[in-house]
Amino acid sequence: MAELRQSLEVMGAVQWLLAASFLACYTLAVGGFFGPGSRGPAALISLVSAVAFSGQMANWVHGFLLTALAIIGIAVFIVAAWILQKSFSGLFEYSLVATPERQHHRVVAAGREAAPSWASSPGSLQLPSVTENTPG
């Protein structure tokens, strides 16, 4: 581990740029931020950056280990985010996208506005009762 730390300390600007481009393109390839058509080029650029990064290091094994540790770190982050999303998905059911099952906006049907979904069943909306506390 001391040798790996020493390799990190002597890294130059080229190695940092290659490492940054690998991390950026790898996360774009895994996440698909720009859509399915961008995953292939992002994966190719991340692979080329990782190989060039390992080749630019004083010991190529250290570059390979750093690349593997970065991939493992990103995988741990993805798994942690997935676990949090699954554990809290039942608590907060809020959607900004209007779906046929859960529409959060008024639907215009046959030239007139239809009633919201909460108004369709009479007992579904209960307002708190207001009582006056008057002495007497």
The torsion angle over the Cα atoms of residues 53, 59, 62 and 67, rounded to 10 degrees, is: 20
Q: Please state, rounded to an integer, the average pLDDT across all residues of the chain.
A: 77
127 within some domain = no
Domain count, the chain: 1
- If phi > 0 it is left, if psi is from -120 to 50 it is alpha, else beta; for residue 103 that is beta
114 within some domain = no
56 within some domain = yes
Q: What span, in angstroms and rounded, lies between the C-alpha atoms of 135 and 73?
A: 66
Q: What span, in angstroms and rounded, lies between the C-alpha atoms of 31 and 23?
A: 12
81 within some domain = yes
119 within some domain = no
* 100 secondary structure, DSSP code: S
115 within some domain = no
117 within some domain = no
Residue-level pLDDT at 7: 78
pTM value is 0.58
45 within some domain = yes
- pLDDT tens, residue by residue, 77-123: 999 999 998 888 766 655 555 555 555 444 444 445 555 555 555 55
Range of the domain at 29: 2-88
